[in-house]
Every structure is written in structure tokens, then in C-alpha cells.
């Protein structure tokens, strides 16, 4: 019997496996897809990491912890995974988005600058920046080499003795007096403690999650871009928000539009490839912010798993399993901190940050 079992080996599952295995615990983990697959929300060469977080001050503790842990992963592997470039939150002056970004900046204790439209245009001439815009610049922001980080966490966990099973879906979870029995297509495995990080499929194993989670289709585009801008997100006057960051190879950039076509529901657990409408939407987004850049010429599809208020779920289920859900969309940067918190809950330790804003009950009562 393993001490820790994990369902789902995306970023949160791999971080949990890394944390548990380096503590000397025996770990087994399962994923329904092949290693390195693109059927979740953790794949891809890069992810943005923002040191000042406009989503709200409730993320300050988890963000601080993540920033402390990414260097530990780099030290354990000898590989550079976090590229610090600075980053921008851009929106209309006086908007709720800018107010939230400023509140987060003030609460963070981190260095930041407030840039008006004129200064933005002077620093970043490649951008289209109307007079009503302003930005928060965070020097500590940047991007993560996400595929490399996933491989690093998996490699460290396996080097520490973890058994990670790919293309091995868990079909059913059985609660037993001594823990849990995970029934897979290749037999069953008994574990003392269970961490459910199955993303869009998490509700298959814990019924309380079904009503709290919504799966959303997301499309990403890659294009040739300038080298003199940092990763940024920008909110348009109609409330749409885009994110732009290096795409993993020189002069390539990656762009996405949050809630791309607002396509939500269980059918979107399956991949639906990019079509002409997707291409047109992302082309318009590029032209709106970087007018001299080429249109996207490559596209990818992933799926976000959301709660109604887009907060994470980091909690303990009635059967004692640890629930880690709805971390896609803006969660990758937090992976080491989420994995550490999942392990702490599993073994009865106190997590390094306050989890009271990330409960399942908080979602079901909305």
C-alpha cells in the first residue's frame, strides 16, 4: 500500500508527487493520457507568472509561497525554469481591473510602477496604447518554462521512488477503512491518502465537485512578435482580457483571450480543434494590441476547469481525500505551493498559507 495516491498528473498532481516523494513518502499517481499529453491545461512551453496579482489580495499568501518554491525546483534540477522579465497589467484608468491591480500591488510589499499611457508608449512603442490606458509594471513578473517544469517535477518524483502511471485512467475510487482503493483499467491500487487533481474529470470521483466545476474550451495562438515588450495582460473596454507572453522560441509569442468563446460544459472535456472563428478572434486580438505583428499562424486548444468565482478549490472531502480543482486558467504559477498544501492537508500538517478562501463549501454556497 502506498502512502499517497494521486489522480491526475498535470502540474498540480506532479507538484504533489514531487512534494510527497521528497518528504520520503511512497507515492503512486495515475493519468488517463500519455506522458506529455495536451489534453489538460498544463501542457505548453510557457506560462505567465505575475508577482503582483490583479485577481485579488486573497492570492498573496499562495503567490509568496510559490515564489519561494520555484527556486527550490530549479536548485533540485539545476535547470532554469523561471525567466524574470517584468510584466504589465494594462487597463483603462479608473477601471475595476486597475483598482484591483493597485490594491494587490499595495498589499504585496513588492516593487511596482504605475505607468500612464504616455510613458507606456515611450517604453513600449510596439504596442497600441490609447490615451485612456494605464498599467502596473511588476519587475518580478515573467514566465515559466512549463513543459520543462512538468518534466522536472515528474523526474524528481520518480527519482525519489514515486510510481507514475500514464495512459492508466482511474475508473472508480473505493473508500476503505485503511484508506482508498483506486480501480484502474489495469487492476487496483491501495493508498492510505488520496489527492484528487483530475482537472475536468475531478467530479467523476467526488460528487460534491460536479456542481462546483465547469469545463471551458480555450484556444491559444502563436505569432511572430517584438522582443522589446514584457509579458502582459490587457483588458479591453468591453471587459475582454487577453494575455501575451513569450512562446518558448526566439521571436515567437503566445496569446490567449480569457473566456475565448464562452464555450462551457461537459462536452468540452474532449478536444475540439481550432476553427476559422477561433483564428479570426485571436488575429483581431493581436492586431488590437500589437498592430505591426503578423497574425497567429499556429493554434492550440486546452480546457480550463473553473469555479463560479474562478477561485481554486484546495480542501478536504467528506471521505478524507484532498480536492485540488479549478486551478487552470490562472493557476499554473502556483503549482509548487498547491502541491505542498495538498500534501500538508493529506498528512495532517498546517499549510504554509491560509486556505479559507479556497473551500468547496464556499463554492456550493454561491
The number of angstroms, rounded, from the C-alpha of 165 to the middle of its chain's C-alpha atoms is 22
The pLDDT assigned to 270 comes to 87
Q: Domain 214-306 - what CATH class? A: alpha beta
Question: First-to-last CA distance in the chain?
Answer: 38
Cα angle 21, 24, 28; round to 5: 40
Q: Cell triple for residue 154?
A: 515528474
**C-beta separation of 332 from 42 below 8 A:** yes
Cα–Cα distance for residue pair 141/231, rounded to 1 Å: 8
Boundaries of every domain in the chain: 2-47+146-212+309-364, 87-139, 214-306
pLDDT digits (tens, 9 = 90+) for 121-133: 999 999 999 999 9
Confidence of residue 356 (pLDDT cuts 50, 70, 90): very high
In tens, the pLDDT along 325-349 reads 999 889 999 999 999 999 999 999 9
Residues 159 and 173: beta-carbon distance below 8 Å: no
> Helices then strands (H, E): number in the chain?
9, 19
- Tens digit of each residue's pLDDT (9 = 90 or more) over 235-289: 999 999 999 999 988 889 999 999 999 999 999 998 889 999 999 999 999 999 9
* Whether residue 364 has pLDDT greater than 80: no
pLDDT in tens, 147-190: 999 999 999 999 999 999 999 999 999 999 999 999 998 999 99
User: What pLDDT, on a 0 to 100 scale, did the predictor assign at position 365?
Assistant: 55
Could you give the CA distance from residue 57 to residue 108 in angstroms, rounded to a whole number?
Answer: 8
Q: How far apart are CA 67 and CA 63, in angstroms?
A: 6
Q: What is the pLDDT of residues 296-306, one digit of tens each?
A: 999 999 999 99
0.85 exceeded by pTM: yes
Task: Quickly state the pLDDT bin for 226 (edges 50, 70, 90).
Answer: confident
One of 3.50.50.60, 3.40.50.300, 3.30.310.80, 3.30.450.20 is the CATH number of 2-47+146-212+309-364, namely 3.50.50.60
Question: For position 248, what pLDDT does the model report?
Answer: 87
Q: Which residues face 84 on adjacent strands?
A: 142
Amino acid at each position: 500500500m502506498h502512502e499517497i495516491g494521486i489522480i491526475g498528473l498535470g502540474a498540480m498532481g506532479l507538484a504533489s508527487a514531487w512534494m510527497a516523494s521528497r518528504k520520503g513518502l511512497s507515492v503512486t499517481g495515475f493519468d488517463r493520457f500519455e506522458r506529455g499529453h495536451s489534453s489538460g491545461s498544463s501542457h505548453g512551453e510557457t506560462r505567465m507568472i505575475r508577482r503582483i496579482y490583479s485577481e485579488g489580495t486573497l492570492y498573496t499568501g499562495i503567490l509568496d509561497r510559490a515564489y519561494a518554491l520555484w527556486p527550490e525546483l530549479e536548485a533540485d534540477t539545476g535547470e532554469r525554469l523561471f525567466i524574470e522579465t517584468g510584466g504589465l497589467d494594462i487597463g483603462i484608468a479608473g477601471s475595476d481591473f486597475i483598482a484591483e491591480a493597485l490594491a494587490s500591488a499595495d498589499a504585496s510589499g513588492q516593487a511596482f510602477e504605475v505607468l500612464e499611457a504616455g510613458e507606456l508608449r515611450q517604453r513600449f512603442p510596439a504596442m497600441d496604447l490609447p490615451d485612456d490606458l494605464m498599467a502596473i509594471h511588476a519587475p518580478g513578473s515573467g514566465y515559466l518554462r512549463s513543459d520543462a517544469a512538468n518534466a522536472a517535477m515528474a523526474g524528481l518524483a520518480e527519482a525519489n521512488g514515486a510510481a507514475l502511471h500514464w495512459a492508466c485512467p482511474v475508473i472508480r475510487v473505493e473508500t476503505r477503512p485503511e484508506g482508498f482503493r483506486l480501480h484502474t483499467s489495469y487492476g487496483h491500487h491501495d493508498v492510505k491518502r488520496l489527492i484528487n487533481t483530475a482537472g475536468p474529470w475531478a467530479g467523476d470521483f467526488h460528487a460534491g465537485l460536479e456542481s462546483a466545476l465547469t469545463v471551458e474550451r480555450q484556444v491559444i495562438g502563436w505569432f511572430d512578435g517584438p522582443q522589446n515588450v514584457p509579458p502582459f495582460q490587457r483588458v479591453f473596454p468591453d471587459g475582454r482580457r487577453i494575455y501575451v507572453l513569450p512562446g518558448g522560441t526566439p521571436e515567437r509569442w503566445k496569446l490567449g483571450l480569457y473566456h475565448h468563446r464562452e464555450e462551457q460544459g461537459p462536452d468540452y472535456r474532449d478536444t475540439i480543434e481550432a476553427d476559422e472563428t477561433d483564428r479570426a478572434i485571436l488575429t483581431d486580438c493581436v492586431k488590437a494590441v500589437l498592430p505591426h505583428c503578423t497574425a497567429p499562424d499556429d493554434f492550440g486548444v486546452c480546457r480550463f476547469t473553473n469555479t463560479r468565482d474562478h477561485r481554486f478549490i484546495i480542501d478536504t472531502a467528506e471521505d478524507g481525500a484532498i480536492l485540488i480543482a479549478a486551478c487552470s486558467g490562472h493557476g499554473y504559477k502556483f503549482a509548487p505551493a498547491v502541491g505542498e498544501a495538498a500534501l500538508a492537508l493529506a498528512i495532517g500538517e498546517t499549510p504554509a498559507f491560509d486556505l479559507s478562501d479556497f473551500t468547496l463549501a464556499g463554492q456550493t454556497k454561491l
